[in-house]
Amino acid sequence: MSDTPTDQTVASRRRRVPWWLWTLVAIGAVVGLVAAIGGFRDVPITALPEVQLGAAHVGSEVRTVVSRAYLSDTQPTNGREADAGSVYLIVEASAESMSDGPSLLDGDLIRVFAGEQVTPAVDPSHVLELRTGEPSEFLQPGVPVDLAWVWAVDTDSLSVGDEVFIGIFDEFAIYDHPIWGDDSFSRPTPVARVITSIASHETLAGTTP
Amino acid sequence: MRPGIRSLLAGVIVLLAGLAVATAPSIDRVVGPFELGGRLGDTVDARLYSATVTRVELAGELDLGYGQDGFSYTPPSVASEQVFVVVDLRLESVVDKVLVQYSELVIGGVTYRVAPFLPGPSILNPPAGPGIPVEGTLVFEVPSSVVESDAAAHARLHIKSELTPQLESVPVFALDLGGLDVERVRVVEPATIPADIR
């Protein structure tokens, strides 16, 4: 007995792979490809390009020159004293917006690995403009400013001479969303590192960043 | 519907959607601010405040000695390796106290935000409510090369109380910074209510 045309159509529909399965296969293939070429692997800090202390790093919108890292009982310029049992780890750098407007990356520009207490996940307690001692609010285009990122740490957690890894972070503009029409920025990510040892405030006294 | 026609229709719809996205006005054109133009000496009345630029000068250092009377970490003087554009402003809010900390100076397509470090009372946080004028100073730090460029003759000062004002009127003053001498030190006074209305 031969199939009627209706039976053939039904059989054909049964044989056809549903569209959602093709979509899943396509997504799986893309994810698999990304995983295969290492897209989901953590980027080790040693993979970041190294910048020397005092050398300039030019990111997508900010030019950064890390000048020094040191321990001090007081914050620079404003002289605020650390609590008893604490000391300030301070990283100083010059930063300048290279874009055509103010950059708000100043707060996220620098993070450090230092001892057990300070990791890149720990935000600085203050980001100060060294000229005024006031919190930094933005970076003006074409105007370099000296900034200090400040972390309060236990006195015995870090010592002068300890090695410190200073990460320079960057963010990338995502232009002109077709619907919202608004520019936005990616999450700040580390793009370079500076390796130095921690100095003491006393030995730096009188030197400029 | 025949499969060929269906595919053609889908293609046309995708093309029309692309055309709609490509030709849609930008968000700034749809909900951007209404810029009200003015020049040095003009009073520009926006919906929430009126503003008058009374003087514009350039300086290499600011004397902020008044700030030492109150609580401020800012030292009594602040010097720049570049240039400070110092704008004296008269501001009067209409509905409620207005903060103009998002004011910007645009020169040659580059935007400079108002310096935040002036000790209080400053015009960034005017010491008076609606209907009471306040006189004070805005400071912008800009590269020396910029004020020496031709673009400095066409600077535009935006007096803004929001970072991205939407459907709101904003005074915009055309300023000529070309040819201004750079003072060595400019004394900045605190924001005050003018003597003639006290």
Every domain range in chain A assigned CATH 2.60.40: 48-204
Which tens digit of pLDDT belongs to each residue from A84-137?
A: 999 999 999 999 999 999 999 999 999 999 888 888 889 999 999 999 989 999
The three-point CA angle B46-B49-B53 to 5° equals 85
Q: A-side interface with B, Cβ within 8 Å? A: 77-78, 100-102, 129, 131-134, 137-138, 140-144, 176, 178-182
pLDDT at A173 over 60: yes
Size of interface A-B (CB pairs under 8 A): 59
| Cα–Cα distance for residue pair B21/B19, rounded to 1 Å | 5
Distance to chain A for B48, nearest Cα, Å: 25
Q: List the single residue in A132, A140, A180 with the smallest CB-CB distance to B27.
A: A180
What confidence tier does A205 reach under pLDDT thresholds 50, 70, 90? Answer: low
- The 3-class secondary structure across chain A, one letter per residue, is CCCCHHHHHHHHHHHCCCHHHHHHHHHHHHHHHHHHCCCCCCCCHHHCCECCCCCEEECCCEEEEEEEEEEECECCCCCCECCCCEEEEEEEEEEEECCCCCECCHHHCEEEEECCCECCCCCCCEEEECCCCCECCCECECCCEEEEEEEEEEHHHCCCCCEEEEEEEECCEECCCCCCCCCEECCCEEEEEEEEECEEHHHHCCCCC
Express as a percent the part of chain A with pLDDT over 70: 84
pLDDT at A1: 47
pLDDT at A7: 65
CB within 8 Å: A134 and B111: no
Quickly list H helices, B51-198: 144-147
Which tens digit of pLDDT belongs to each residue from B122-176?
A: 999 888 889 999 999 999 999 999 999 999 999 999 999 998 898 999 999 999 9
| Cα–Cα distance for residue pair B152/B134, rounded to 1 Å | 27
Chain A partners within 8 Å of B27 (Cβ): 180-182
Which tens digit of pLDDT belongs to each residue from B69-119?
A: 777 788 889 999 999 999 999 999 999 989 999 999 999 999 999 999 998
What confidence tier does A14 reach under pLDDT thresholds 50, 70, 90? Answer: low
The reply to whether the predicted model has a pTM over 0.95 is: no
Chain A partners within 8 Å of B24 (Cβ): 178
Would you state the structure tokens that stand for residue B115, as one six-digit string? Answer: 């310096």
CB within 8 Å: A138 and B113: yes
CB within 8 Å: A142 and B78: no
pLDDT at A13 over 70: no
What confidence tier does A17 reach under pLDDT thresholds 50, 70, 90? Answer: confident
Protein fold of A48-204: Immunoglobulin-like (2.60.40)
CB within 8 Å: B110 and A101: yes
Using CA coordinates, name the residue in chain A closest to B140. Answer: A140
Which tens digit of pLDDT belongs to each residue from A103-118?
A: 999 999 999 998 888 8
Answer whether B177's CB lies under 8 Å from B155's CB: yes
CA A45, A49, A55, A60 torsion-angle sign: negative
